[in-house]
Structure 1
Amino acid sequence: MPEAELLFSETSQYLKSEDVAQLRNAYLFGQGAHSGQFRKSGEPYISHPLAVARILGTLHLDAPTLTAALLHDVVEDTDISKAEISERFGEPVAELVDGVSKLTKIEFQTQEEAQAENFRKMLLAMARDVRVILIKLADRLHNMRTLGVMDQVKQRRIARETLEIYAPIAHRLGLNNIYQELQELGFRYSYPLRYKVLVKATKAARGNRREVVGKILDAIDLKLKEVGLDAEVTGREKHLYSIYMKMVDKHLSFSEVLDIYGFRVIVKDISSCYVALGMLHSLYKPIPGKFKDYIAIPKNNGYQSLHSTLLGPFGIPIEMQIRTAEMHRIAENGVASHWLYKSSDDDFDDLHPETSQWLQSLVEALSGSTDSLEFLEHLKIDLFPGDVYVFTPQGKIMTLPRGSTAVDFAYAVHSDVGNCCVAAKINGENAPLRTLLKTGDRVEIVTAPYAKPNPSWLSYVATGRARSHIRYFLKNIQYDESVKLGERMLNQALLSFNINPDTINETQWEKLVRDSGVKSKDELLAEMALGKQFPAVVAKRLTLPLESVSNEQTAGPITILGTEGLTVQFAKCCRPIPGDAIVGIIKKDHGLVIHTHDCAIIANSQKSSESYLDVAWGKDITRTFEANIKVTAVNKQGVLARVAAEIAKAESNIDDIAMESDGDYTRMRFILQVNNRHHLAQILRSLRRIKDVARIIRIKS
């Protein structure tokens, strides 16, 4: 096959003769394995892995990668095993082939679940060896180039998947050429009519603007020569997908998108980049807010360049990129530039630090997520990063996606910092954890040793790393807490039936677990804590005629300490505090919710003996609780300050405050942090001593 000889000829320019011989052997082996198989276009199947290997050859990838590319479908589509590939071509090649192969032999409930698991496996292999994704991206690129033979439904599904997953991964890894071609092809097959209209419009505009582009190129070239800069200047037409997204994002028509051309200036060193920038700014006026210095602060994928948008002739905006030849090489080839122009003996640890960090975050997301669709959600979030650069207190720059909060920053520092964060200081000022971060912010995280992730964080975190760690913590820690609480609830129910919990044997438990359709005793106990099973019902089903409890054992209340975690919640309607008479209600999927006995909400609800539990406060409670009070005071200047000062003197914090005034009086609602009823009474006595305070009440509903 002529393409095979082209591959061997092209790779012989940088590979050793024995490596080219291995490629030839791999090609012949793959040709034999795929014998009799044809692509939908009618071509022999071997033409596909051959094309994939040639794409990777342009990146000067090593022999094992190209060998694996030639064999990447052998395990999936033929009877050849991974062990046979390992024996003939070595374990590294076999591992690469295995990483690329799909999970065809496992049954899934839905196509989405199957594809999500495929991505999960591929990216786990990629995190171990980035060459896996390079093969997969080349595989996808050739499939997209030949997508026209598929039916329209498949075209759109594959194109959408390419735009959502593969193109962003290529971008994240800095593979600019592959990224842009995947985007263009994805756009072409996702929106065929829009693509055709834009092709026609750009062809018409190209003729009108060719003269302008030539004029700009000549002017730039002349200006740079004036200061003695040796530079290569090129003009490029922006890609259709980039133009289309600009039209969508900014609600523009094609005629309103003026900057469809960009210009690139390549110079010898970094200092020349800034000299060239100054010269260009003196030639054409820069547009305010349209300058980015990716040399001082590189992108996550190692990309470096100066970007500036200038107002060119006839008021046309022109986008300028200024970089060195080395920066240009990295910009075009990303992680693959590690192999380009280097020997095949180099190791793979010399990747850009940010790329390595992202690959490591993938491993963490994989280990923290048991659900493939959930992992894919994390991946999609992380594949669309913005340009938010923030600083640690020590001055280290951290890059986060646009929309990140202080919680995302905390998890980016370390998972332990995220799990224990309680507050943030942004630019020296206290700020809520949900505060959106902006480029240039200096962020400091305040932690507490007993703090835990809050489920509400999931509603505003932006990074997959943060989301993965929060979900992992909630799933595992909440489960352990639920099991312990469920056991206490069941023991109380058994004692109420005069049954000693210690007399329940394993046989009875095994029967109950089997009849309940759960996997284990712990799962059943956890379901009780979360309100999915009622302790009284479980106790009745569990008990057969058993020995009664001794006289000393009675069904006492469940002790509440306030440190039970997420499985015990304190109702916001009445905000119970130690010293209040309380009652527990089992609420499905929420666990045990504690109310005061006189709470209006439970007084109006229909009581069920199965859902209500007898609870009581424990001794030596150390945590604080929220109490809601309403203070009515004469509407005078400084009254709020005096009230706040008295609260602080009584060693209480104000969590929230709301005020309203009707002229003569101001009504202030406070949520305070208190230890117990005695502490609250002390605060109220202090407030009553203020001359202008007319009335104070505690709000319980």
Structure 2
Amino acid sequence: MSLTPADSTLSVAPNNRAVPDRSASKVTTNKSPASTPAPAPGVASVTQLTNKLAEYLTPSELKKIKEAYRFSDEAHLGQMRMSGEPYISHPIAVAEICADWKLDAQAIMAALLHDVMEDQDVRKDELIERFGAPVANIVDGLSKLEKLEFQSQIEAQAENFRKMLLAMARDVRVILIKLADRLHNMRTLGSMSAVKKRRIARETMEVYVPIAHRLGLNNIYRELQDLAFSHLYPMRYKTLGKAVKAARGNRREVVSKILESVNKTLEATGIPAQVYGREKTLYGIYTKMLNKRLSFSQVLDIYGFRVVVDSFANCYVALGTLHALFKPMPGKFKDYIAIPKLNGYQSLHTTLIGPYGTPVEFQIRTQDMHRVAESGVAAHWLYKDDEGSLNDLQQRTHAWLQSLLDIQKQTGDSAEFLEHVKVDLFPDSVYVFTPKSKIIALPRGATALDFAYTIHTDVGDQTIAVKINLEQVPLRTELRNGDIVEIITSPSSRPNPNWLGFVRTGKARSAIRHHLRTINLVESIDLGRKLLGQALSALNLNPDLSPAVTERLLNESSAKSLDDLYADIGVGKRMAALVARHILGMLENDTPSPHPLLDVNGEVVNKQIDPVVIYGSEGVAVQLAPCCQPIPGDAIIGQMKRDQGLTIHTLECDVARRQRSKEPDRWIGVTWGAGINRRFDCGITLLARNEKGILARVAAEIGESDANITHVGMDEDKEHMITYLHFTVQVEDRVHLARLMRNLRAIPGVTRLLRHKGTS
């Protein structure tokens, strides 16, 4: 394994140090040919690219690619990389990486043109006229939305990712070219500042590395990981690189001995095979040290071996042969042939105890499996004559790309969309079965409810119960490999906002949020209008906005209508106080009216904001916190949760105290309204002597006190002869609860009684 970033396949000028942040990596000079410096010897040439393409493209396709090259060269004329070389060297390098995958002529043309719309203001219709709609659509999908105004860099980044990923869902070549672009930029990241290196490397690790893994592009996946690692933690990278280099010499004898033994044994068994020794990437070693808290000397399996055989059956024969040669480690065998990974990867994995007690990992696969393992979805272009064996991979990829479109339809904004996609890019997976034995792959940590939404959005929305291995379990139960999952639905069931606290997949999260936004829109609008009105009154502003102020507010907040703005406030996506301050700023800039009173820090001195009045019947826009279960009469406070509306806690709730210290701006004053006509859940625990009939006496007293029991549980302390009785009861208010608790304390045998107050 190379310990330094691999060189580009291009021939480039010495000390090439181009950077991907285009705002800082390009220098544009006068575009006249006379002012363009002559290229230095060794600067990128299209010759190598043409030679690679000639191996698999027709002369007519090569002619079109040369035309695209000339167009791109003219468009970027006078534009230089920070290394001093012509900018055209970057598109050529990207096209060469795509040529290594044997991508088609349209993709190569798009790779050469991928920056002309973004950097040189070339119009899409011009590209359509010159090179056709497919090429123009790919280039458009790769171009950033730099002409639009965004409120923050994070919002701009999220919207650009959404544009690219949706273009990828329509044509996967978009992301293949983008990955090639990012790979070349990461290889040439040297001249950036340390801050920008870390930002770009972190973005690469969080988004592009998982996408490469999800598409099965293992070579790019590993190289991007190591390159990002080298820029995120340069000292750790160098130190670990030196340690691996030193260990390589010490372990060469072990590797040679294993290779020799395996080759001889497989040959004697009559299995045609190629055996490769390979070294783990530095990032792979680093994560193993980090996750298992090991020192480098404790990481023994730095080396692995890949065995490529001629047939499916010989994979298992080779496995048995290796297990006879070296002892397998218990629990270290995985059959990814019978159950492929989400990205189509297939191999047998086993870890054996090699010479000198060293653990050694073996991967056993056929040539077809090896091709897919290294090239992933790009193998579709690389080996067009063998599409039959890749149908399953294509179907998996298509299903994932389709899920991006589904999430997009249900998502409110770009940041939320990117959040969902990142969740689904989590590489580790768990495999479960439907009652009809169909295999479903989900991210590690996915719950039974995630499974329901994976089957269909309607199934998830209508879920009321779930059985795992024939036993009924809570919806939040995490799934394990091999579980058989059965979903029980009801047409009258609807998503619960609390579900957002435990679902794992982007599809489930976006579907629940979409339902809460649409079905409960009226409730959210009413709550948002009330919250904004109170925030405006606190700043001595009229809650009734004029048409001129409304129009300007909607333009500056990117909201489609005032109701959309109210709904965003009602579900916690926008803070009423911040919107009110924004309106105040607009009015101050437009009118010479006296400024409001300011404190010593320049902040507006607010009058006391009237609390929001709640009645407990507002629907899902207002939720009563399950940790402390507030009831009328309790002193309460409200928390605005993103996409969950207003959650009510008691003032003395420990959970609320902890969360208020983290996000104090998301808490508002609330109070109970008059004339509430409903009952509220409340948790109580009784400590009683372990006597016969104690539960019956307590239950009878609760009934006589006009309270309902909705749940009961018991814990027994045999050593002290005490029983803990846990009840969830329904009461009208705090006065009703006090009367009930007074009656329960009077029962002979009850030694202590307390109410649950949110201490979990």
Give the TM-score of the pair, scaled to structure 1.
0.79
- Superposed CA deviations along residues 19-46 of structure 1, whole A, max 9, x for unmatched, are 1111111111111111111111111111
- The CA deviation at 1:93 is 0.2
2:725 matches 1:668: yes
Q: 1:257 aligns with which of 272, 292, 299?
A: 299
- Give the corresponding residue for 2:215: 173
Larger mean Cα displacement after TM superposition, 420-429 or 253-262: 420-429
2:92 matches 1:50: yes
2:514 matches 1:458: no
- Give the corresponding residue for 1:32: 74
SS at match of 1:195: helix
Larger mean Cα displacement after TM superposition, 349-358 or 50-59: 349-358
Q: 1:309 aligns with which of 334, 351, 376?
A: 351
Change beyond 3 A, Cα 1:231–1:669: same
Change beyond 3 A, Cα 1:57–1:638: farther
- Give the corresponding residue for 1:376: 418
- The CA deviation at 1:98 is 0.4
Q: 2:234 aligns with which of 188, 192, 196?
A: 192
AA matched with 1:220: V
AA matched with 2:402: Q
Q: Is the 8 A contact 2:689 2:723 kept in 1?
A: yes
2-side partners of 1:570 and 1:117: how far apart? 34
2-side partners of 1:341 and 1:406: how far apart? 39
Change beyond 3 A, Cα 1:370–1:349: farther
Unaligned runs of at least 5 residues, structure 1: 491-507, 535-557, 596-607, 619-623
AA matched with 2:397: T
Change beyond 3 A, Cα 1:288–1:442: same
Q: 1:13 aligns with which of 55, 69, 77?
A: 55
AA matched with 1:668: L
- The CA deviation at 1:133 is 0.2
- The CA deviation at 1:229 is 0.8
Change beyond 3 A, Cα 1:582–1:525: farther
2-side partners of 1:479 and 1:330: how far apart? 46
Within-5 A mapping of 1:130-279: 130-279=172-321
- Superposed CA deviations along residues 406-436 of structure 1, whole A, max 9, x for unmatched, are 2222221222222222332211112122222
Change beyond 3 A, Cα 1:34–1:350: farther
Change beyond 3 A, Cα 1:663–1:124: same
Change beyond 3 A, Cα 1:513–1:229: same
Q: Is the 8 A contact 2:639 2:648 kept in 1?
A: no
- The CA deviation at 1:593 is 7.0
Change beyond 3 A, Cα 1:366–1:18: same
- Give the corresponding residue for 1:635: 690
2-side partners of 1:385 and 1:166: how far apart? 12
Larger mean Cα displacement after TM superposition, 477-486 or 319-328: 477-486
Within-5 A mapping of 1:507-546: 514=550, 519-520=561-562
AA matched with 1:362: L
2:619 matches 1:564: yes
Change beyond 3 A, Cα 1:148–1:431: same
Unaligned runs of at least 5 residues, structure 2: 1-42, 533-543, 555-560, 578-612, 651-667
Change beyond 3 A, Cα 1:609–1:467: closer
- The CA deviation at 1:700 is 11
- Give the corresponding residue for 2:485: 443
AA matched with 1:306: L
2:143 matches 1:101: yes
- Superposed CA deviations along residues 490-526 of structure 1, whole A, max 9, x for unmatched, are 9xxxxxxxxxxxxxxxxx8866984996853685599
1-side partners of 2:260 and 2:519: how far apart? 66
Q: Is the 8 A contact 1:301 1:355 kept in 2?
A: yes
- Superposed CA deviations along residues 435-469 of structure 1, whole A, max 9, x for unmatched, are 22111111222333333333333333222222222
- Give the corresponding residue for 1:121: 163
- Superposed CA deviations along residues 336-383 of structure 1, whole A, max 9, x for unmatched, are 00111217999x997533222222222223232233223322222222
1-side partners of 2:234 and 2:210: how far apart? 21
Within-5 A mapping of 1:587-598: 589=640
- Aligned length, in residue pairs: 630
- Superposed CA deviations along residues 252-288 of structure 1, whole A, max 9, x for unmatched, are 2222211111101111111110110011011101111
Q: Is the 8 A contact 2:207 2:422 kept in 1?
A: yes
1-side partners of 2:567 and 2:165: how far apart? 36
- The CA deviation at 1:483 is 4.0
Q: Is the 8 A contact 1:33 1:74 kept in 2?
A: yes
Change beyond 3 A, Cα 1:312–1:696: closer
Within-5 A mapping of 1:68-107: 68-107=110-149
- The CA deviation at 1:54 is 0.8
Q: Is the 8 A contact 1:52 1:139 kept in 2?
A: yes
- Superposed CA deviations along residues 150-197 of structure 1, whole A, max 9, x for unmatched, are 233222222222122112211110011111111121122222222222
SS at match of 2:308: strand
2:368 matches 1:326: yes
SS at match of 1:60: coil
- Give the corresponding residue for 1:655: 711
Q: Is the 8 A contact 1:574 1:699 kept in 2?
A: no
Larger mean Cα displacement after TM superposition, 564-573 or 149-158: 564-573
- The CA deviation at 1:673 is 7.9
2-side partners of 1:529 and 1:377: how far apart? 18
- The CA deviation at 1:476 is 3.0
- Superposed CA deviations along residues 52-106 of structure 1, whole A, max 9, x for unmatched, are 1111111111111010001000111113211111100000000000001111112
- The CA deviation at 1:574 is 7.3
- Give the corresponding residue for 1:412: 454
2-side partners of 1:325 and 1:345: how far apart? 14
SS at match of 2:103: coil
2-side partners of 1:252 and 1:361: how far apart? 38
Within-5 A mapping of 1:360-371: 360-371=402-413
SS at match of 1:467: helix
Q: 1:291 aligns with which of 319, 322, 333?
A: 333
Change beyond 3 A, Cα 1:646–1:110: same
2-side partners of 1:99 and 1:459: how far apart? 34
Change beyond 3 A, Cα 1:431–1:94: same
- Superposed CA deviations along residues 203-242 of structure 1, whole A, max 9, x for unmatched, are 2222222222111111111111222111111111221211
- Superposed CA deviations along residues 622-656 of structure 1, whole A, max 9, x for unmatched, are xx9746576776624786699999999xxx98535
2-side partners of 1:532 and 1:335: how far apart? 43
1-side partners of 2:77 and 2:294: how far apart? 52
Change beyond 3 A, Cα 1:269–1:480: farther
Q: Is the 8 A contact 1:8 1:20 kept in 2?
A: yes
2-side partners of 1:349 and 1:125: how far apart? 22
2-side partners of 1:380 and 1:148: how far apart? 27
Change beyond 3 A, Cα 1:562–1:584: farther
2:655 matches 1:613: no
Q: 1:468 aligns with which of 507, 510, 527?
A: 510
Change beyond 3 A, Cα 1:423–1:643: farther
- Give the corresponding residue for 1:493: none
AA matched with 1:264: R
Change beyond 3 A, Cα 1:389–1:271: same
Larger mean Cα displacement after TM superposition, 390-399 or 665-674: 665-674
Q: Is the 8 A contact 2:279 2:304 kept in 1?
A: yes
2-side partners of 1:692 and 1:395: how far apart? 56
Larger mean Cα displacement after TM superposition, 371-380 or 177-186: 371-380
- RMSD (Å), alpha carbons: 4.3
1-side partners of 2:310 and 2:271: how far apart? 9
AA matched with 2:727: F
2-side partners of 1:609 and 1:384: how far apart? 39
